[in-house]
Structure 1
Amino acid sequence: MKNTAFYIVALLAVLASCTGDLNQVPISSATTSTFYSQPNDFLQASNAIYSDLRGYPDRQLNLSETRSDNLYAVSDGGVRDWEGINSFQKSIAGNVYVSEAWSTNFNGIYRANVLLDQLQKNGKLITDVSLKTRLEAEAKFLRAFFYFDLVRFFGKVPIIDHPVTANEALSIPRSPVKDVYTLILSDLTFAATNLPETYAAADKGRATRYAAKAALALVYMTRSGPTYDIEGPGLGLNEWSQALTVLNEIIASGKYSFLTSFTNIFSFTNENNAEVIFDVQYANGLTPVVGGTFPWVLVPDTWFQSNGKATQGGLTIRPVSVDLLNAYATADTRKAFTIQSGYTYNGVAETRSFVKKYVDLTKVPTNNRLDWPINFIVYRYTDILMLKAECILRGATGGTQADVDAIVNQVRVRAGLPAITNVTLSQLLQERRKEFVGEGSRWHDLVRSGQIETIMTAWIAAEDTQKQMQPFQKNYIIYPVPQAELDTKPGLYTQNAGY
């Protein structure tokens, strides 16, 4: 749980007012000159950028987890927004989850651009040179973070690296993915060099240089994924060795370690543990509310009611796929913690399963479903280790099959499973699936792996018992440009193929 003052500032800062996605209008010069008058103003501006991370976990659950073969999210309680995501419907350009991904990320980019602009113009007000450099590095990390999220979901997006007026924004087209990556890599390289390794307790949760390195490694790996002949996140590059180098730097730092208990990674009483490299931080009981909502996103309301708790907002069940359930061995201790296998409500048995990874029934907010106090881990040490194994299997120099086996078996033993040898890429992908289910990584893993067409096609054929899903097409690897963006200035953007 984050320091209270950090969150109050983050949501009440002058710069925290919403801005339109295309309407990248800078704060008026009068307001800017009034606001940026002392070092603390720049800190508030930095906090305002972090505040745009609040919905990041929900987005990954809605657009990555629900899109993947982890869930068969066909609703039996009315039409739900997630059904079009799960079923590969072509008419989702107006979907609220798709629109949120575009607008919130660009809002964060806008705020980062304003801070970077003001650091350049008024940075002399900050006499602490190290603080000024750190704020620049934080802003660049977050700008890269938001842009990477956009690239993975939409492919081409407009590059806006400075504050622009509304009219200027209306003339900025989408740029090729490779050009967006150029900005991302530049920002992350600066951040990885200039961010501190750690922070004092009051600033816990800010990006460190190892958070930047984790993001940098994942960018290298994502760029190295196949293109699928679409303008998506993969460029078919062979940057597995570059990624491995960065991952090894995180491991060699000694700042993080592998917890022996899987459940303790996600404990409400063990936040900021040794596994956590970067997370989205929440605090409860504050005004305005700055808690999380992601714990209940994949959880049906009737389950909370069956346990004597108030409804939270997850509505009807988004069932875990039979394929995922069958992937767990009987002895795998991760399954019971991650997945609720049925329950009874008002005397009626619900036999389907759902993801409950972030729910502790003793911690359910009593007054506000928007106020869960658990942090969402974006990058954790187990992920770094398994990404290292993936790079080695992809041919990165500096690793061996023995290294891969050791990493995977460390994860398996923690889960109560026997060791295996000669781990393949497909086995690693399956092990990642069981380890990170509910963390929003599955869709991105499938895309990066090059196996998404084969896996999703076979999965739909076996899983779609209600015949609700469209046949998988490679165009569905990315989402459509939100219809609101197309309508803002007709002709500025071209809709992604397949929608």
Structure 2
Amino acid sequence: MNKTLKYFFYSCTIAIVGGACSDSFLDVKPRGTDLEANYYRNRQEAFNGLVAVYDVVGWQGGGYVTKINAVSAASDDHYAGGGGPNDITNLQVWSDYSLSPAQGPQEELWRKGFSGIFRANILLQKLPDIPMDENEKSRFIAETKFLRAYFYFDLVRLFKNIPLFIEPVSTDQMYDVTQVPPTEVYALIEQDLLDAMPALPSTVPVATEGGRATEGAARALLGKVYLQQEKFAPAAEQLAQVNGQPGSTSQYGYKLLDNFGDLFEVSNKFNSESILEISFTNTSVGDWGCVACTEGNVMNIMVGPRNYNPTPGAPDYVSGWSFLPITPELFAEIHYDPRNPHTVANLDSLEANNLATYEKGYMNTGYFLEKFAGREKDRWTGAGSPELNFPQNMYEIRLADTYLLEAEALVRGGGDATRAAALLNAVRDRIGLGPVAATFENIKRERRLELVGEGHRWFDLIRWGDAATALASRGFVAGKHEILPIPLLELENTQIEQSIEWGGTK
């Protein structure tokens, strides 16, 4: 979301759609009942409601749990880290696979997804009757359907067995909702994205609308949805329209950046490689009074080295909380790769060369996530807490990701091997590496090294069926840990049932 959209969030979100901080997604609707009669009267209120849906994409829970940091902690690329085994326990228990229905990141991730869906459904119900320009109304509807699809895709991958809401739920229906088969959820996701595409713009003006959904973003997400279901030919077809000729500029204006490191420059927002981006800002002046309310990127302080003390000439990392240290296994893979210096903050080397000291946190390896480690040059000096006001955006989908997804779809589906190789090697060529054969194993390796810390690795391992092997030493149990348990809170006094993988009946 851009700064204009962020501004409107503050004036409308809490008043419009109550329940963002509720204990259960089932509490959202009753708290927002007044909006049914009193809001969505004109174009401005419709826009405010749309912003409220977008805002959930960048959801940062009060317990510092986000989708990206949680799935990273659960992967073989990172440990949870932090100050000790009880530091943000909900991340620790997924990292070592000791989570249970009562403890883990699932409550926050469930709450995020259904908060976004509830907001989307209310807006979709109200938009047809709002007096406003019909073309803009069609775009608002398309954006809202895109966002609903986005939230459902995360939820069905994380939990599998979820309720399906396509309209607001009345108070007397709240506790009688039941789950549906995942195929029904995927069918809605696909239809929402297909419905959205014709009314979404091909591009948006970055200065005023950066972060809003485009036709290309909808195609990219649909390609991911098809690939998740092993619909290889449709996935490749959608992703090919996003990607265009490998290495060139696509019909939507997407192009790989020349320099891999430029992807993670704080000022380089909404660049040519960005397809869907989560926006953060330091203008919210967030503080410790409401961590979940801040619009700064909490990841920047979380992954920085703890009690960092540099000498002159050392990198200007902000002293952070030492979460998500990079595993030795990943470091061995990436150490000699050209992406290494832009991916790994090697505190082990800095200390060995007397350039810096730092406190060894929990599960310390000496390797931290360079991509998102906060820098002093980006530290906020205005009102609010500096730790909560880093403005670095994060990619939800970027072009190198979709290149490799299309290559995967082609290879696994027996498609055009020449194009698969061109896609894979365009990603490698950007960093000065020579071509390799377009095998499934080479694509897997490239995705791992290209997308470290961006929230894809755990989902990739699950999709490929590799998680049980890659995460065996962490406690991963096949047939159980491919999904999260339904949060215990959601099972109380409702018709929702625990998944069979977690001892339930669903």
Coarse TM-score class (shorter-chain normalised): 0.7 to 0.9
Give 2:8's aligned amino acid.
Answer: V
- Give yes or no for contact 2:40–2:127 (8 Å, CA) kept in 1: no
The amino acid that maps onto 2:140 is L
2:100 aligns with one of 81, 91, 103: 91
Partner of residue 222, structure 1: 228
Find out whether 1:170 has 2:175 as its counterpart. Answer: yes
Other-structure match for 2:248: none
Give, in angstroms, the shift of residue 383 of structure 1. 1.1
Aligned match of 1:61 in 48, 68, 72?
68
Residue 282 in 1 paired to residue 280 in 2? Answer: yes
Where do 1:22-421 residues align within 5 Å?
Answer: 22-25=26-29, 31-55=35-59, 59-73=66-80, 77-80=84-87, 81=89, 82-91=91-100, 93-95=102-104, 97-120=105-128, 122-123=129-130, 125-126=131-132, 128-200=133-205, 201-224=207-230, 239-252=231-244, 253-287=251-285, 289-303=294-308, 311-312=319-320, 315-328=321-334, 330=336, 332-342=337-347, 343-344=350-351, 352-361=366-375, 362-366=377-381, 367-397=385-415, 399-400=416-417, 402-420=418-436
Q: CA deviation at 1:311?
A: 5.0
For residues 72 and 37 of structure 1, do their structure 2 counterparts lie closer, same or farther at Cα, with a shift above 3 Å needed? Answer: closer
Distance 2:59 2:6 in 1: 14
Measure the CA separation in 2 of the matches of 1:486 and 1:27: 20
Q: Which residue of 2 aligns with 1:230?
A: none
Give the deviation of 1:73 after TM superposition. 3.4
**Contact conserved, 2:253 with 2:272, CA < 8 A, in 1?**
yes
Whole-angstrom distance in 1 between the partners of 2:345 and 2:276: 27
1:5 is displaced (CA, Å) by 2.8
1:189 partner letter: L
Aligned mates of 2:48, 2:115 — CA distance in 1: 16
- Structure 2 stretches lacking a partner, 5+ long: 245-250, 287-293
Amino acid in the other structure paired with 1:405: A
SS of aligned partner of 1:23: helix
Structure 1 residue 47, shift from structure 2 partner:
0.3
Q: Aligned partners of 2:2, 2:502: CA distance in 1, in Å?
A: 45
2:58 partner amino acid: R
Q: Which moved more, 1:111-120 or 1:29-38?
A: 29-38
How many Å separate the matches in 2 of 1:75 and 1:258? 34
Aligned length: 463
User: Cα deviations across residues 32-85 of structure 1 (Å, max 9, x unaligned)?
Assistant: 443222211100000001111122796233332111111133666242322211
Per-residue deviation, 1:8: 1.6
Q: Which residue is 2:451 aligned to?
A: 436
Q: Secondary structure at the match of 2:372?
A: coil
Alpha-carbon offset, residue 389 of structure 1: 0.6
Aligned counterparts of 1:304 and 1:53: Cα–Cα separation in 2: 35
* TM-score, scaled relative to structure 1: 0.86
Structure 1 SS opposite 2:93: helix
Structure 1 pair 403–482 and aligned structure 2 pair: CA distance change class (3 A): same
Distance 1:441-1:31 versus aligned 2 partners, 3 A rule: closer
Please state whether the residue corresponding to 1:197 is helix, strand or coil. Answer: coil
Distance in structure 2 (CA, Å) of the matches to 1:111 and 1:456: 36
**Gap change, CA 1:304 and 1:114, over 3 Å in 2:** farther
From 484, 492, 496, the equivalent of 1:479 is 484
Q: Tell me what 2:289 maps to.
A: none
Taking structure 1 as reference, are residues 219 and 471 closer, same or farther at Cα in structure 2, changes over 3 Å only? closer
Q: 1:456 aligns to what?
A: 471
Find the aligned partners of 1:329 and 1:259 in 2 and give their Cα distance. 22
Contact 1:220 1:243 in 2 (8 A): yes
1:37 aligns to what SS in structure 2?
coil
Matches of 1:130 and 1:27, distance apart in 2: 32
Say what the alpha-carbon RMSD is for the aligned residues.
Answer: 2.5
| C-alpha distance in 1 between matches for 2:358 and 2:83 | 18
CA contact (8 A) 2:302 2:322 kept: no
Distance in 1 (CA, whole Å) between partners of 2:404 and 2:167 is 36
Aligned to 1:232: none
Q: Which moved more, 1:282-291 or 1:361-370?
A: 282-291
In 2 relative to 1, CA 358–369 (structure 1 residues): closer, same or farther, beyond 3 Å?
A: same
CA gap 1:240/1:348 in 2 versus in 1, 3 angstroms: closer
Q: 2 CA distance for matches of 1:41 and 1:471? A: 47
- The residue type paired with residue 263 of structure 1 is G
The superposition leaves residues 291-327 of structure 1 with CA deviations (integer Å, 9 ceiling, x where unpaired) of 2212233334323889787655xx3443311111111
2:370 corresponds to which letter in structure 1? K
**Structure 2 residue aligned with 1:463:** none
For residues 34 and 304 of structure 1, the distance between their equivalents in structure 2, rounded to whole angstroms, comes to 54
Deviation at 1:396, TM superposition (A): 4.8
Deviation of 1:245 after TM superposition, in Å, equals 0.8
Asked if 2 retains the 8 angstrom alpha-carbon contact of 1:114 and 1:162, the reply is yes
CA distance 1:56–1:333, change in 2 (3 Å): farther
CA distance in 2, matches of 1:296, 1:28: 33
Contact 1:23 1:166 in 2 (8 A): no
Letter in 1 for 2:232: W
Could you tell me which amino acid in structure 1 is paired with residue 180 of structure 2?
Answer: S
CA separation of 1:30 and 1:83: change in aligned 2, threshold 3 A:
closer
Question: How far 1:147 sits from its partner (Å)?
Answer: 0.7
- % same residue: 28
CA drift at 1:432: 0.5
Query: 2:464 & 2:140 partners in 1: Cα distance?
Result: 35
Letter in 2 for 1:445: D
| 1:160-214 CA-partner distances (Å, limit 9, x unpaired) | 1111123312111111101111111111111122211122331221011111111
Deviation at 1:425, TM superposition (A): 0.5
